[in-house]
Chains A and B, each alone.
Chain A
Amino acid sequence: MKSWLMLALLAPLSLASAGTAKISGTVVDQGGTLTPNIVVEASPVGMAWSGGIPQAKTDEHGHFVLTVVSGREAYGTLYGQHWLVYVHQDDAYYPDLSSAFYSTPSTHAQTVELTPESGDAIIELKAGPKAGAITGHVIDSVTGTPLHPQFDLAWASGDPSKRMGIRTRDPYRILLPSNTEIKLIVQCEGHKPWIYPGVINVGPAQDLPLDIKMDPEPASK
């Protein structure tokens, strides 16, 4: 199960406007220093979604403001009541912590509760911990042609919620939760699956180079 740090502080302010609320605060790094120019994301909890996840970048003082959908329907039902707020910046090794795959017991993501009565939320958010990454190229073992396969990743612990699939550009760079044993299977149309022998375990902000050659699969008869 996720181990979320609970809401740090709710300020008794009015909602920003009908149907929305603000989540603001500051971001500090592991050492407690305010962190400028880093992306903070708020993922809805329990809400069906299509489109972009609300984001904001911290200013030079490490401060951010997010505006999210939150309110009460005319017939009384609350919506947008819970949000998971976290630092998400792949190039700085901060993964999408709204994914169970990246959530660890030491994850610094905060659940924020918003109600029309409690109003906007102000939080102090700690970045991290940083993920590690696997990086490299995937090519056809015969022709050397670059491939864009799908990476299926799962915690070696076997927790079914700790799975993720990703197909991305070449060269690939995929974040993995640090200090966690991960199993990897790579698949691409027309090629035999490639299975990592053993498990991968990378440290925080550590890159593991991993170039992969995939064997063509015999054509089906």
Chain B
Amino acid sequence: MLLDHLRLAVTVVLVASALPRAWAQQCSYAPTITSSLPASATVYPPNYCANGPGCSCPAPPGTWQCTVTCSPQQPCTLDQMATTTLASGPSSPQPDEMVVYGTNFCGTQRSQGPVWWQDYVQFDNVAGYTYGWQLVGIANPLGNVSAQFGNTSNPFQISNYNFGVDYWSNTLGFNLIGPVEMAVQQDVWDHCVGCTTTVRRKVTYEVVNSDGSVAANIPLGEVMDLGTSGCFQGRPSITINSCTVAQGQSIGNPSGGTSNKSGGMWATDGNGEFTDSWTMGADGYTPAGCGFAANYDHWQLCGLTAPLGSVNAGLTFATLTGLVDTNRIGINAGSKQYVLPVAIVPCPPNTPGCPGSIPVGTVFTP
């Protein structure tokens, strides 16, 4: 059967919170190549779900019963997507499906685009079948495509991959719905635990998706770069939430200096909100009022189910900048810097920068 003449359907299924158990049980075998002739290779593709006519998917350690013959290798062609909008995150309706129609699907396949899904690709070369792909994350393991929520034409390609060579298809675009900004809901300052002078600032944000809905129960991390400390004791190691580094492990500071610690991933609650606490954490830093700059704090949606330490990198939906000193914490919004606490309460009339907290509703974007 010549694959060139087959019209294949590939279904992309967005499953945010769990791996496809049923499929994984059926099709988690390692690929086996039975012929190595470059011009005519017979391969058993990874995660191949042999549900086509005449095929079966035996229980491990059984052998594959179907083969895919590719002769010669060439790119597949993507014609259209039946659905071109995907929502990311557990709060989205599940599952979202995207059917990709094309021709010449052949050999081991992998995709590239702003989603991490090629490990969960299933395909068959039998016309009339529905082919399921699981969208399990948003990182891009191939490293050459940027992802953007709200972009209506995020690029997506499929490769016929064989013997170390990619044969990339044309590119189709689709809309990826996901978090694009966060808005201040509450801004609190007090003193850190056990502190009498050093302050802490806790800002609660609502994370908003590109379609205007709130991004409830999504996994979060931050990528943070901290400046040089003006304290005699140097800059403390700071614990931050991370998509890629496991809780308790060390994270290098992008611009150098003291490394930080991962507090693991964080998450929005059922209302799409989370609270970000900033503090130096202890009294005793000198001279009084010393501290360091937060050069950037990228808040990101983490890859959804990819294992930590692998390709769980997230997509930035909001960036904060500011300063963390012993006696004050500043957060920049637009051209203003909101610093808490202010020196005098109540503020003298028309004092610039008073009362110091960020107005409710202030929006932060990437």
Contact = CB atoms under 8 A, between A and B. Distances in A.
A61 interface: no
B174 to A, nearest CB: 31
A68 B357 CA distance: 30
Interface SS of A by simple majority: loop
Nearest to A195: B346
Contacts of B196: 100, 160-161
Q: How large is the interface on A (under 10, 10 to 19, 20 to 34, 35 or more residues)?
A: 35 or more
A45 interface: yes
B17 interface: no
A85 to B, nearest CB: 11
B218 interface: no
B278 A189 contact: no
B241 interface: yes
Contact of A19 (B187, B247, B279, B341): B247
Contacts of A48: 236-239, 279-282, 324
A142 interface: no
A158 interface: no
A171 B279 CA distance: 28
A185 B189 contact: no
A52 B266 contact: yes
Contacts of B280: 48
B359 A148 contact: yes
B360 A150 contact: no
B261 interface: yes
A156 B357 CA distance: 23
A139 B238 CA distance: 40
Contacts of A161: 191, 195-197
Interface in B219-238: 220, 222, 224, 236-238
A84 B193 CA distance: 8
Q: Interface centre among A98, A101, A165, A187, by most B CB within 10 Å?
A: A165
B66 interface: no
A200 to B, nearest CB: 16
A52 B276 contact: yes
Contacts of A69: 239, 247-248, 261-264
Interface string B292-335: 00100100000000000000000000000000100000000000
A81 interface: no
Interface string A59-76: 000000001011100000
A19 B248 contact: yes
Interface stretch (B31-39, B49-57, B208-216, B347-355): B347-355
B347 A193 contact: yes
A50 interface: yes
Nearest to B347: A187
A149 B266 CA distance: 29
Contacts of A170: 360
A168 interface: yes
A165 B294 CA distance: 22
Contacts of A96: 202
Contacts of B188: 164-167
Interface residues of B, number: 61
A125 to B, nearest CB: 16
B355 A188 contact: yes
A80 B326 CA distance: 20
Most chain B CB inside 10 Å of its own CB: which residue of A79, A164, A167:
A167
Interface in B109-135: none
Contacts of A2: 194
B191 A220 contact: no
A167 B187 contact: yes
A100 B191 contact: yes
Contacts of B360: 148, 167-170
Nearest to A43: B193
B147 interface: no
A160 B324 CA distance: 20
Contacts of B96: none
B149 interface: no
Interface of B: 185-197, 200, 202, 220, 222, 224, 236-241, 246-249, 261-264, 266-267, 274-282, 294, 297, 324, 340-341, 345-347, 349-350, 354-361
Interface of A: 2, 17-20, 43-54, 67, 69-71, 79-80, 84, 96, 98-101, 148-150, 152, 160-161, 163-170, 185, 187-189, 192-193, 195, 217, 220
Pairs of residues from A and B, 7 with the lowest C-beta to C-beta distance, nearest first? A19-B248, A193-B346, A51-B241, A167-B357, A52-B266, A187-B355, A220-B350
26 contacts: A19-B261, A47-B239, A48-B280, A48-B324, A49-B263, A51-B266, A52-B275, A52-B276, A53-B275, A69-B263, A100-B191, A100-B195, A101-B190, A148-B361, A150-B356, A160-B196, A160-B197, A161-B191, A163-B191, A164-B190, A165-B189, A165-B341, A167-B357, A169-B186, A187-B346, A189-B354
Given A49-B200, A167-B359, 9 more contacts: A47-B282, A51-B240, A52-B274, A99-B191, A163-B191, A165-B356, A168-B185, A185-B345, A217-B349
